[in-house]
Amino acid sequence: MKINFNAEKEFDIIAIGRACIDLNAVEYNRPMEETMTFSKYVGGSPANIAIGSSKLGLKAGFIGKISDDQHGRFIEKYMSDVGIDTSNFVVDKEGHKTGLAFTEIKSPEECSILMYRQDVADLYLAPSEVDEAYINKSKVLLVSGTALSKSPSREAILKAVNLAKKNDVKVIFELDYRPYSWESLEETAVYYSLVAEQADIVIGTRDEYDAMENSEIEGKNENTVNYLFKHSPELIVIKHGVEGSFAYTKSGEVFRGLAYKTNVLKTFGAGDSYASAFLCALITGKDIETALKYGSASASIVVSKHSSSEAMPTVEEIEQLIAKNETISIA
Amino acid sequence: MKINFNAEKEFDIIAIGRACIDLNAVEYNRPMEETMTFSKYVGGSPANIAIGSSKLGLKAGFIGKISDDQHGRFIEKYMSDVGIDTSNFVVDKEGHKTGLAFTEIKSPEECSILMYRQDVADLYLAPSEVDEAYINKSKVLLVSGTALSKSPSREAILKAVNLAKKNDVKVIFELDYRPYSWESLEETAVYYSLVAEQADIVIGTRDEYDAMENSEIEGKNENTVNYLFKHSPELIVIKHGVEGSFAYTKSGEVFRGLAYKTNVLKTFGAGDSYASAFLCALITGKDIETALKYGSASASIVVSKHSSSEAMPTVEEIEQLIAKNETISIA
Amino acid sequence: MKINFNAEKEFDIIAIGRACIDLNAVEYNRPMEETMTFSKYVGGSPANIAIGSSKLGLKAGFIGKISDDQHGRFIEKYMSDVGIDTSNFVVDKEGHKTGLAFTEIKSPEECSILMYRQDVADLYLAPSEVDEAYINKSKVLLVSGTALSKSPSREAILKAVNLAKKNDVKVIFELDYRPYSWESLEETAVYYSLVAEQADIVIGTRDEYDAMENSEIEGKNENTVNYLFKHSPELIVIKHGVEGSFAYTKSGEVFRGLAYKTNVLKTFGAGDSYASAFLCALITGKDIETALKYGSASASIVVSKHSSSEAMPTVEEIEQLIAKNETISIA
Amino acid sequence: MKINFNAEKEFDIIAIGRACIDLNAVEYNRPMEETMTFSKYVGGSPANIAIGSSKLGLKAGFIGKISDDQHGRFIEKYMSDVGIDTSNFVVDKEGHKTGLAFTEIKSPEECSILMYRQDVADLYLAPSEVDEAYINKSKVLLVSGTALSKSPSREAILKAVNLAKKNDVKVIFELDYRPYSWESLEETAVYYSLVAEQADIVIGTRDEYDAMENSEIEGKNENTVNYLFKHSPELIVIKHGVEGSFAYTKSGEVFRGLAYKTNVLKTFGAGDSYASAFLCALITGKDIETALKYGSASASIVVSKHSSSEAMPTVEEIEQLIAKNETISIA
């Protein structure tokens, strides 16, 4: 099965939501208390996906709100420089700051993030700042779940999804669940269900689908896809870490993608690089099995490098890794 | 055309949302500054509709949150005494108060309400307090728009609508638009569209549909129904004040109901009494034309009396007024 | 000892703080759930004291913020009608409402108040709205403690106290402690100490002084006065309910006032009527012993009547009760 | 004139308020947009003063609230390592973050700071977390104005000042005015006056005294000192940038300190290094003229270096600079 995208649309993908700053430990393999220097990168799931997509050759755009300061201007310039259309960035005029993520890499297995997300600019994107004509220009609208966590960003996303469906734009919902962004798990479940039911493609980890289902125990993929296929989705990707990922189609097919061996530096950025490469493959007409390989390969490359955005691979790098064919096999 | 309700459900109607206190001027036909005494009644659109429905003989239930004080206890007792199942009232444990509405009746044409709606208990109904098994017992879930104006009540309503659809319970959306409850018109439009698209029956004034459409000018009924009939609704009622109301069906029928002559005391409560009588007629198997007459007659009776809830008519009173057949004709 | 007031000042007393609405049960001696009608009065401690003072013949003014609605206009008109200068009332332009107090009188011993104090207008009085020239016109600035519970009213009071001291205006601090208005007891203690140390006269119940001292157990009057007399106060009144009240002077005198027998209807309003009569006596040159009698007599009269403000007595009523000399003696 | 400190107290100085993180541009002399690496230092006015004091040989302690994360732990360890007693640091348990200051150095004349101060831990220090016995151990309590900008830190400071005065601990008020921390200038003025009137020594720039006086135009030192000397202060320092600083004593003396020539890298940290050296001189028994030199020399050293805290000089460095005697003379 292949997903059909409207070929007449100018943009391949428009992502909506947060674009932030990552401050990555320059001195790592130690607790952050002992890190004295930090490197600055653009971060945030939808920004990373737009950057990854652009580096893979897609025509990408972005809808988001950035702070009216040095960090906001850096974000816009960086994203513009990698080829993303930034005409729909809105500059916040009420003093809200850019979100920050300080990364701590104690070891490849022990990574954590110290987040600054209090009243950040990206969550102040308002529905009036979402332009129907702009969304209408794209094959795909990429929504990441964190943007649903607070008003008015929440309403901006709900409006954008409504406009996408009205204008034959595929809605891709990347669950991107960050518990600290939400009041409660049940609040998450309400909005994740609402958007997932309206999406064409849903991508997430098993844990993230559990959040959508308001479940504190691990759910079954079978139940998840049975539920969602009663609504709009035609393709559902459920990721299971090193065990690989599964893609389910409405017509009943199931595909499995395996993870590629790599030299893991940290775990950040894996999901975003997966999503951008998987979507790139689909949008450029590859089949689902190939798209799963693209996603896995791209994730493997990013976790071996220091940043999430700057490290996004090219098509050549992805295809080289796929060609080596060294997947991780789990008993 | 008739609407089919699931006859096996125990309750005719379960309303969800606010139940508050009206403080009506005892001395009226004067500015409220000169009113020295106020009478206490239960108020709030969904509570009024539940009370009206119960007085018309329907089996009604209610889902809502009430304050842990004398006002909250009064509301529960009053509603229980008129025959409503109050088992799903939740008592607020965080000190939130019952909403208040002081009514001012300067003349039948000059009525206003002084609202106390700051952090009121009804807006703190949480999604976890909405019980699927309870909703599943009813033919109809009655949602009024104001409950969508703030979290967590907003999420409780979205969850209730989702559960109703999953369990073959008709969703009736009474727009009940109160501008002061909302951050912005566009926020209203996002949630009103979302719920209206999922509802089976939508009821509101022309002004309220304009809010749903984020329009500052008066829209056309034709456009409204064309839009909504692309989604779930099968019946749409648009009220035009003394010019009467229009009912549109998905199958293309249009019906008009005329207003009945009455001795107007005040304008409060007209919409709630209309909704309860209109729905009662539909649920008891009457046709749409008769339901429009029920709605109009009930509204005419309530605007001639002092309260909104206590004044809700019986079926006999409604049928007597319809029999007199004194409608208001507009050139 | 007599307190000397600056005889050249035009006003006897200017009170600052809240002016609200009391909604008193018309049908009482029952739970409020069964009360169906409420009578409207002006309420709020400093408003009541101003009203009481004015009825006793003092020239009174008021500084406060009222809602831009029927309740706010009623308050201003009522207070103006009893002779208070209302030129320094500020009308709130941001939609804040007037505070409400529904009174419940189950029996003379069981009275309670259901408060609506969420974001009320009186707590939005800003320091810029406090006029030095106006304060400078008064012999006395009457501050009640509740106005210190939230910003910006808190800062308005601190500024007013500062201006009073600079302009030879006596600062009277009526503790008026309402626990529900505060974040914590220790927050109360910080501001109560700060203002009490700067005041010339402090009036409160033993409980209220315990709040000032951040003490959960009953403190000793001796310690309280030793502490406060190290700072500005020259007269301290500590009330002990039916056991009467004690007045302490910086020069070491102690006076005791006894409570008068009365037919108690409810307990509301006792403190405000006490304060207005006590201060009236002092300001008109009576000695402290007489002032204590005035306070007690006035309190006894008000607790026998339905309202707090409307019930404030005249000098004649007070003197008649004192003349009867029926005090309550406690073993 | 010399200031007398209670020689029996164990600590020379206890500072109270914020301890934060500075992220200083590694690549500077450019806009921050082009800075890709940042170095981490402890920052925040009272923390810097404590660090400066400790490096000058004083026995220093600190009262403050830090985040329960890597940044909070870094702060405590750094300050402990420079010799400060950190036993009265409180770890925030409600998820508040450490404040951040990203510094931009475009040129020595064009420096700016990008602040992250939204709901930061230091502003959540509560009055209950201020320990009288600890304050009682110190000769000096150093208060910086920003800690007064929000509750509950505001009340913690007011309580600390009250306890200091009660226990013969000198209160030093460093005005440290940051407009973005405050709701309004008049709110600042209320609290700055309140604390300045109770302080023993007040230190600030002319601009900061203007904030205390709620004045939008530059005030006169004469008026400022006339006002404050009516209250507790015995020594007032008013700084005029490169024109030097003035020290006024209650007994009528005036001293002027001149700025020292230096190679300015940036302007941050000048005030804090001034305060620590000035106070160190006073506490160690030097006269006011010498203390002014210490302050100026210390400021000159810090502005020539990259950080504010790490750059704090030793007594030897200060005395060497004073010995060179190259002051800036302004016509």
Neighbours of A194 (CB within 10 A): 21
Residues of D in CB contact (< 8 Å) with C are 126-128, 151-152, 155, 158-159, 162, 183-184, 186-187, 189-191, 193-194
CB neighbour list of residue D222: distance below 8 Å, 6 or more residues apart: none
Residue of A31, A38, A77 lying closest to D38 (CB–CB): A38
Mean pLDDT over residues A42-49, rounded?
97
CB neighbour list of residue A110: distance below 8 Å, 6 or more residues apart: none
Give tens-digit pLDDT for D271-285.
999 999 999 999 999
Whether residue D187 and residue C128 make contact (CB cut-off 8 A), yes or no, is: no
Distance from CA of C304 to the nearest CA of D (A): 40
Task: Report the residue of chain D nearest A72, measured CA to CA.
Answer: D33
Task: Report the residue of chain D nearest A21, measured CA to CA.
Answer: D36
What pLDDT, on a 0 to 100 scale, did the predictor assign at position B198?
97
Residue of B128, B152, B187 lying closest to A127 (CB–CB): B187
b/e per residue A199-217 (b: at least 16 CB within 10 A): bbbbbbbbbbbbbbbbeee
Provide the pairing of β-strand C170-174 with D110-116. unpaired
CB neighbour list of residue D201: distance below 8 Å, 6 or more residues apart: D3, D170, D171, D172, D173, D233, D234, D235, D236, D237, D282
CB neighbour list of residue D195: distance below 8 Å, 6 or more residues apart: D143, D145, D148, D157, D158, D161, D171, D173
How far, in Å, CA of D175 to CA of B70, rounded? 50
Whether residue B100 and residue C104 make contact (CB cut-off 8 A), yes or no, is: no
CA–CA distances in Å: residue A132 to residues A65, B196, D330 = 17, 20, 62
Model confidence band, residue D219 (pLDDT cutoffs 50, 70, 90): very high
CA–CA distances in Å: residue C126 to residues C97, C98, C117, D214 = 16, 16, 17, 14
Distance from CA of B38 to the nearest CA of C (A): 5
Helix, strand, coil shares of chain D, percent, nearest 5, are: 40, 25, 35
CB neighbour list of residue A59: distance below 8 Å, 6 or more residues apart: A10, A11, A12, A13, A85
Q: Three-state secondary structure along chain B?
A: CCCCCCCCCCEEEEEECCCEEEEEECCCCCCHHHCCEEEEEEECHHHHHHHHHHHCCCCEEEEEEECCCHHHHHHHHHHHHCCCEEEEEEECCCCCECCEEEEEEEECCEEEEEEECCCEHHHHCCHHHCCHHHHCCEEEEEEEHHHHCCCCHHHHHHHHHHHHHHCCCEEEEECCCCHHHCCCHHHHHHHHHHHHHHCCEEEEEHHHHHHHCCCCCCCCHHHHHHHHCCCCCCEEEEECHHHCEEEEECCCCEEEECCECCCCCCCCCHHHHHHHHHHHHHHCCCCHHHHHHHHHHHHHHHHCCCCCCCCCCCHHHHHHHHHHCCECCCC
What pLDDT, on a 0 to 100 scale, did the predictor assign at position B197?
97
Q: Please say whether the beta carbons of C292 and C280 come within 8 A.
A: no
Task: Report the residue of chain D nearest A74, measured CA to CA.
Answer: D33
How far, in Å, CA of D100 to CA of D120, rounded? 9
Whether the pLDDT of residue C60 is over 90: the answer is yes
Lowest mean per-residue pLDDT among B167-171, B202-206, B319-323, D105-109: D105-109
D/B Cβ contact: 3+ pairs below 8 Å: no
| 3-class DSSP state of C85 | strand
Portion of chain C with pLDDT greater than 90, in percent: 91
Q: Please say whether the beta carbons of A286 and A275 come within 8 A.
A: no
Q: Please say whether the beta carbons of A210 and A217 come within 8 A.
A: yes
Amino acid making up residue D38: F
Model confidence band, residue C173 (pLDDT cutoffs 50, 70, 90): very high
Please report the sign of the dihedral spanned by the C-alpha atoms of residue A175, residue A180, residue A186, residue A190.
negative
Q: Which of C156, C219, C230 is nearest to C196 (CA)?
A: C230
Q: Assign residue D29 a region (left: φ > 0; alpha: ψ between -120 and 50; beta: otherwise).
A: left
Neighbours of chain B (3+ CB pairs under 8 A): A, C
Mean pLDDT over residues C149-159, rounded?
98
B/C Cβ contact: 3+ pairs below 8 Å: yes
Whether the pLDDT of residue B331 is over 60: the answer is no
Q: What are the chain B neighbours of A159 within 8 Å (beta carbons)?
A: 186, 190
CB neighbour list of residue C326: distance below 8 Å, 6 or more residues apart: C260, C261
Whether the pLDDT of residue A297 is over 80: the answer is yes
How far, in Å, CA of B137 to CA of B158, rounded? 18
How far, in Å, CA of D272 to CA of D275, rounded? 5
How remote is the C-alpha of A325 from its chain's centroid?
25
Residue of B162, B187, B190 lying closest to A193 (CB–CB): B162
Mutation target among C161, C190, C213 for the D interface, most CBs of D within 10 A = C190
Mutation target among B94, B124, B151 for the A interface, most CBs of A within 10 A = B151
Mean pLDDT over residues C96-115, rounded?
94
Task: Report the residue of chain C nearest D127, measured CA to CA.
Answer: C186
Task: Report the residue of chain C nearest B100, measured CA to CA.
Answer: C116
Give tens-digit pLDDT for A92-101.
999 999 999 9
Whether the pLDDT of residue C329 is over 80: the answer is no
Whether the pLDDT of residue B208 is over 60: the answer is yes
Residue of B155, B183, B184 lying closest to A187 (CB–CB): B155
Distance from CA of D64 to the nearest CA of C (A): 18
How many residues in chain A? Answer: 331
For tokens 């002992």, the residue is: A34
b/e per residue B96-125 (b: at least 16 CB within 10 A): bbbbbbbbbbeeeeebbbbbbbbebbbbbb
Amino acid making up residue D207: D
Give tens-digit pLDDT for D34-52.
999 999 999 999 999 999 9
Neighbours of A230 (CB within 10 A): 11
C146's tokens: 């509740």
How far, in Å, CA of D187 to CA of D154, rounded? 12
Whether residue A23 and residue D31 make contact (CB cut-off 8 A), yes or no, is: no
What pLDDT, on a 0 to 100 scale, did the predictor assign at position A308?
85
What pLDDT, on a 0 to 100 scale, did the predictor assign at position C330?
62
How far, in Å, CA of A228 to CA of A248, rounded? 11
Q: What are the chain D neighbours of C186 within 8 Å (beta carbons)?
A: 126-128, 155, 159
Q: Higher confidence at residue C115 or residue C269?
A: C115
Largest CA distance in chain A: 54
Task: Report the residue of chain A nearest D103, measured CA to CA.
Answer: A70
CB neighbour list of residue B126: distance below 8 Å, 6 or more residues apart: A184, A186, B152, B155, B156
Whether the pLDDT of residue C277 is over 80: the answer is yes
What pLDDT, on a 0 to 100 scale, did the predictor assign at position A330?
62
Give tens-digit pLDDT for A199-241.
999 999 999 999 999 999 999 999 999 999 999 999 999 999 8
Residue of D38, D39, D71 lying closest to A114 (CB–CB): D71
What pLDDT, on a 0 to 100 scale, did the predictor assign at position C51?
98
Q: Any idea of the CA torsion for B128, B131, B132, B136, to the nearest 10 degrees? A: -160
How far, in Å, CA of B99 to CA of B117, rounded? 5
Neighbours of chain A (3+ CB pairs under 8 A): B, D
How far, in Å, CA of D161 to CA of C301, rounded? 44
Residue of C31, C39, C97 lying closest to B116 (CB–CB): C97
Q: What are the chain D neighbours of C183 within 8 Å (beta carbons)?
A: 151-152
What pLDDT, on a 0 to 100 scale, did the predictor assign at position D329?
74
Whether residue B70 and residue C39 make contact (CB cut-off 8 A), yes or no, is: no
Whether the pLDDT of residue B180 is over 70: the answer is yes
C89's tokens: 């009332």
Please report the sign of the dihedral spanned by the C-alpha atoms of residue A268, residue A273, residue A274, residue A276.
positive
What pLDDT, on a 0 to 100 scale, did the predictor assign at position D6?
96
Neighbours of chain D (3+ CB pairs under 8 A): A, C
Distance from CA of C151 to the nearest CA of B (A): 18
Task: Report the residue of chain A nearest D180, measured CA to CA.
Answer: A95
Model confidence band, residue B251 (pLDDT cutoffs 50, 70, 90): very high
Residue of A23, A36, A114 lying closest to D69 (CB–CB): A114
Tell me the ipTM for this assembly.
Answer: 0.95
Whether residue D26 and residue A33 make contact (CB cut-off 8 A), yes or no, is: no
Q: What are the chain C neighbours of D151 within 8 Å (beta carbons)?
A: 151, 183, 187
Domains and CATH numbers, chain A: 13-19+44-95+123-324 (3.40.1190.20)
Amino acid making up residue B308: S
> What's phi and psi for C67, nearest 5 deg?
-70, 150
Across chain B, mean pLDDT equals: 96
What pLDDT, on a 0 to 100 scale, did the predictor assign at position C2?
80
Residue of D33, D100, D116 lying closest to A70 (CB–CB): D33
Whether residue A38 and residue D23 make contact (CB cut-off 8 A), yes or no, is: yes
How far, in Å, CA of C170 to CA of D195, rounded? 22
Whether the pLDDT of residue D27 is over 90: the answer is yes
CB neighbour list of residue C206: distance below 8 Å, 6 or more residues apart: C218, C219, C221, C238, C239, C240
Residue of D36, D40, D100 lying closest to A39 (CB–CB): D36
What pLDDT, on a 0 to 100 scale, did the predictor assign at position A115?
97
The DSSP output letter for A310 is: T
Mean pLDDT over residues C223-246, rounded?
95
Q: What are the chain C neighbours of B102 within 8 Å (beta carbons)?
A: 70-71
How far, in Å, CA of A198 to CA of A193, rounded? 9
Directed axis angle between helix A153-166 and helix B185-198, to 10°?
50
- Which H or E run includes C210? helix C206-212
Give tens-digit pLDDT for C12-54.
999 999 999 999 999 989 999 999 999 999 999 999 999 999 9
Radius of gyration of chain C (CA): 18
Work out how many CB contacts closer than 8 A connect A with D: 63
Give tens-digit pLDDT for A254-268.
999 999 999 999 888
How far, in Å, CA of A253 to CA of A237, rounded? 12
Q: What are the chain A neighbours of D32 within 8 Å (beta carbons)?
A: 70-71, 74
Whether residue D40 and residue A39 make contact (CB cut-off 8 A), yes or no, is: no
Mean pLDDT over residues C136-153, rounded?
98
Q: Please say whether the beta carbons of C247 and C257 come within 8 A.
A: yes
Work out how many CB contacts closer than 8 A connect B with C: 63
Burial of D180 (0-12, 13-18, 19+ CB in 10 A): exposed
Residue of C159, C184, C194 lying closest to D158 (CB–CB): C194
What pLDDT, on a 0 to 100 scale, did the predictor assign at position B306?
85
Mutation target among C69, C91, C306 for the B interface, most CBs of B within 10 A = C69
- What is the value of pTM for the model shown? 0.95
Burial of D58 (0-12, 13-18, 19+ CB in 10 A): buried
What pLDDT, on a 0 to 100 scale, did the predictor assign at position D108?
87
What pLDDT, on a 0 to 100 scale, did the predictor assign at position B330?
62
Whether the pLDDT of residue C307 is over 90: the answer is no
What pLDDT, on a 0 to 100 scale, did the predictor assign at position D267?
85
